Amino acid sequence: MNNALQEIRHTLSDEIVRLNDFIESSLDASNPLMNQVIRGYLTSKGKQIRPILVILSARFFAPDEPQVSERVIRAAAAVEMLHNATLIHDDVVDDSDTRRGRATINNVWDNHIAVLVGDFFLSTALREAVETGDVRIVGSLASLGRKLSVGEMDQIYNARYHQVDESSYYKTIGRKTASLFVSCVEMGAFAVGVSADDPRLEAMRGFAERLGLCFQIKDDIFDYFDDDKIGKPTGNDLREGKITLPLLYALSRTDLAGHDEMNALARQEQLSGDDIARLIAYAKEAGGIDYAYDSMARLRREGASLLTPWTSAPVTGDFLSLFDYIITREN
């Protein structure tokens, strides 16, 4: 965890303690096995960027509030529980053995238990959204669930039918990743009573979308390098038929020798370890990694521009620091 995120977490330390206490309390079940599995899962909380976004958004829109309200904490908890529900279910779908450096629920127990625990996280998230008393928060969370599901199906469709263009890529990551970041700032705003047509909210949505796109692009870059911190093997995306931005750029370069051969290889139904290594090397040699970093820099400039009218607001600096963290993070 680099200094930018550490500083933000330090600033929000009281709110994060309240958040995690609230999540643990909300997820307390009448079934001892459910509680055992959940307690084990919650020992590794991840970076919690999404609930932090909810809290930062609330502080941005209500800077004079002396303390973050219970409604904000409840909304942040709802987002975090929905996010974790999708991770637990994803681990079942992908047959993943590890998550955040620890064994997944489906690995320790089985798929049946993992699906039920994921469902429990999801239903608890919806309950807490309802308990905020703001139908807009409920609507944002429900709409988010639909977008995340469609985004995952987009990814499957792109892999199955070999959609290898940037437009399809951005559409997919906009739904499967950026939509969650947008919902976070919406829910933080709604939790402090901001109206849906507030111009600040539209700017914040645009900022959060670019932040989420950057998050996924950086995640995708990791797949081109060996690093035990990441928690998945190099080339895992290609193994699953996912072609991400660095390789998309390389495949689009008609000026390169081997263009036709590499495009044909990328569209094969199954790739060997050697095939994956060749495609990764091709993406790097073609400047795909640099292109992805340039794309993140562009998104960061666009995001910062959207917040220009509010540069004097204290929380604006935190949002920009969070953007920088996402671009420079190592896992």
Lookup: tokens for 312: 């004097």
Q: pLDDT, tens digit, for every residue of 60-80?
A: 999 999 899 999 999 999 999
The span from the first CA to the last CA of the chain, in angstroms, equals: 8
Return the DSSP state at 99: E
Q: What is the widest separation between alpha-carbon atoms in the chain?
A: 63
The pLDDT, as a whole number, for residue 100 is 81
Instruction: Please report which helix (H) or strand (E) contains residue 103, including its range.
Output: strand 102-103
Distance CA 103, CA 6 (A): 25
Task: Tell me which residue range forms the domain holding 168.
Answer: 3-328
CB 105 within 8 A of CB 66: no
Q: Identify the CATH number of the domain in which residue 213 sits.
A: 1.10.600.10
Burial of residue 11 (CB within 10 Å: 0-12, 13-18, 19+) is: middle
The pLDDT, as a whole number, for residue 234 is 79
Q: Output the DSSP codes for 259-284.
A: HHHHHHHHT-SS--HHHHHHHHHHHH
Q: pLDDT, tens digit, for every residue of 26-57?
A: 999 999 999 999 999 999 988 999 999 999 99
Name the more confident of 102 and 190: 190
Looking at the structure of the chain, the number of domains it has is 1
